[in-house]
Chain A
Amino acid sequence: MTEQAIVDRLCEEFDFLRDRVYVQRPKRIMTQFLDRKEFKQVVNFIHDVLGFYKASHVVGTDEGPDLGFIYIFSNSDGIILALKQKAPKSDPRIDTLTDMYPSLLLHERELVDLFGAQVQGLPDGPRYPLPDGWPEGNYPMRKDWKPEYFDKKTMTYNPPGTGKEGDEK
């Protein structure tokens, strides 16, 4: 199945994907940001029907008021499909994909620790990869979190203007 055939099949199956999925260059397929419900449907489809059995990587991005998540899948032909989804920072809940792709466990834990995503259905386990004693509510990969305001001795985040010790954002 060629890249264009996969794109055509996706557009045929999902109306909302029309003009939002495209072949970027040979063996690379990209989508624009989908919302969470659409994303789950597309992932189920590519896993069950199109044979994208391998989830290689997850990228988290800070999109201003939203958090972006880019999931990268590949199939046995070496075609790489990047699916994107978006969740607002006020309600950063996304569904876990570890039931379909167990290898995503550590990647999704990183999204929880570094971006503050709330991954629903993630198995219980230790936090990863931030150090022990890291204060709650501090997500270092978000753009509004500045490392120079973080006191590494007391492990507190003190942005200017608050003027008090131990004030966590």
Chain B
Amino acid sequence: MNLIQKAIRWGRRKSPWIIHFNAGSCNGCDIETIDALTPKYDLERLGIVQEGSPRHADVLICTGAVTLQTRDRLKQIYDQMAEPKFVVAVGTCACTGGIFENCYCVLGGVDSVIPVDAYVPGCAVRPEAIIEAIDKLLGTLGPSKKEESRND
């Protein structure tokens, strides 16, 4: 791994930028996602910043079951994100479709349209669960600098 790759990985691990997308949620999980960004939980102390544009974001936080109307929009937003990109399905509906499964206009969970890296079940999820999911997701990127030096 050369120096530039190391620097990019460090930056990605230190400061993942997230974008929040509502694919057909009842707004319960949306409120909890916004709640995780408020001063009480303060995601920004971990370097996690909410970004408005999918082109600048690393992690797509998706809430709600995917409806026929949002299917193409969700795909479009996913395609606009730069590699490498991660998807976190937040809430029971985003994981499996939840109570809306087999409804006339609902396709199912987020994984019926785009690949998902982390699932956070709950109705509605707690902000702590979202924070832990992003933390675990970043853990899959490989050991941090501190852990590497400890191993040496």
Question: Is B105 part of the binding interface, using a Cβ–Cβ cutoff of 8 Å?
Answer: yes
Decide if B69 touches A131 in the complex (CB within 8 Å): yes
Question: Is A140 part of the binding interface, using a Cβ–Cβ cutoff of 8 Å?
Answer: yes
1/0 contact string of A149-161 vs chain B (CB within 8 Å)? 0101001000000
Decide if B67 touches A131 in the complex (CB within 8 Å): yes
Chain A neighbourhood of B107, CB < 8 A? 152
Question: Is B2 part of the binding interface, using a Cβ–Cβ cutoff of 8 Å?
Answer: no
CA distance A132 to B105 in the complex (A): 11
Chain B neighbourhood of A145, CB < 8 A? 104
Q: How many A-B residue pairs have CB under 8 A?
A: 19
Instruction: Name the CB-closest residue of B to A140.
Output: B104
Chain B neighbourhood of A131, CB < 8 A? 67-69, 105
Chain B neighbourhood of A132, CB < 8 A? 69
CA distance A131 to B68 in the complex (A): 6
Decide if A150 touches B69 in the complex (CB within 8 Å): no
Question: Is B103 part of the binding interface, using a Cβ–Cβ cutoff of 8 Å?
Answer: yes
The DSSP consensus for interface residues of chain A is loop
Decide if B105 touches A130 in the complex (CB within 8 Å): yes
A146 to chain B, nearest CB (A): 9
Question: Is A148 part of the binding interface, using a Cβ–Cβ cutoff of 8 Å?
Answer: yes
Question: Is B140 part of the binding interface, using a Cβ–Cβ cutoff of 8 Å?
Answer: no
A149 to chain B, nearest CB (A): 10
Decide if B68 touches A147 in the complex (CB within 8 Å): no
Q: Name B102's contact: one of A133, A140, A147 (CB within 8 Å).
A: A147
Instruction: Name the CB-closest residue of A to B70.
Output: A131
1/0 contact string of A117-143 vs chain B (CB within 8 Å)? 000000000000011111000001000
CA distance A72 to B45 in the complex (A): 50
Decide if A148 touches B69 in the complex (CB within 8 Å): no
Instruction: Name the CB-closest residue of A to B106.
Output: A152
Chain B neighbourhood of A140, CB < 8 A? 104-105
CA distance A99 to B28 in the complex (A): 35
1/0 contact string of A42-65 vs chain B (CB within 8 Å)? 000000000000000000000000
CA distance A150 to B107 in the complex (A): 11
- In B97-138, the 8 Å CB interface with A consists of 102-105, 107
15 A-B residue pairings within 8 Å (CB atoms): A131-B69, A131-B105, A132-B69, A133-B68, A134-B68, A140-B105, A145-B104, A147-B102, A147-B103, A147-B104, A148-B102, A150-B104, A152-B68, A152-B107, A155-B68
List the 4 closest A-B pairs by CB distance, nearest first. Answer: A131-B69, A131-B68, A140-B104, A147-B104
**Given A131-B67, A131-B69, A155-B68, 16 other A-B contacts at CB below 8 A?**
A130-B105, A131-B68, A131-B105, A132-B69, A133-B68, A134-B68, A140-B104, A140-B105, A145-B104, A147-B102, A147-B103, A147-B104, A148-B102, A150-B104, A152-B68, A152-B107
**Chain B residues close to A by CB (< 8 Å):** 67-69, 102-105, 107
